[in-house]
Amino acid sequence: MKILFGAFAVLAALAASEASAQPINLTGDYHCIAACRGPGPAFITQNGWSLNVLNEVGEPSRGWIDRPGHIWLEDWHQGAIYSPDGFTIQFDSGTIWQRGPVPPPPPLHRRG
């Protein structure tokens, strides 16, 4: 009985460590809020640890999560850190993206 319980405890610990090793899902639409190269939206598609990224001017890059909280973008030769919730990404170049659609422009005020 002790052997069975010990085997169950080992399997439970392995399953828990595998689940916690899963990367956060960064897939989604982003908009640039600082040091932007253009006005367009940015996109990330994630498959496991691999990323396909399209920046705000339409330049693609492949990348990957190289450690928790950090990604590397091969074609852009730069890294980025992401927030624990995955809603903000700050690149080594200073560019900052936030998850969500591009916000609409502010309304124009009419002079009357």
pLDDT at residue 112, rounded to an integer: 62
pLDDT at residue 108, rounded to an integer: 81
Question: Could you tell me the pTM of the whole model?
Answer: 0.74
How far is it, in rounded angstroms, from Cα 10 to Cα 2? Answer: 12
Indicate whether 73 pLDDT > 60.
Answer: yes
24-99, CATH topology level: Lipocalin (2.40.128)
68-73: average pLDDT: 97
How far is it, in rounded angstroms, from Cα 107 to Cα 59? Answer: 30
Domain ranges of the chain: 24-99
Q: 3-class DSSP state for residue 40?
A: coil
pLDDT at residue 105, rounded to an integer: 73
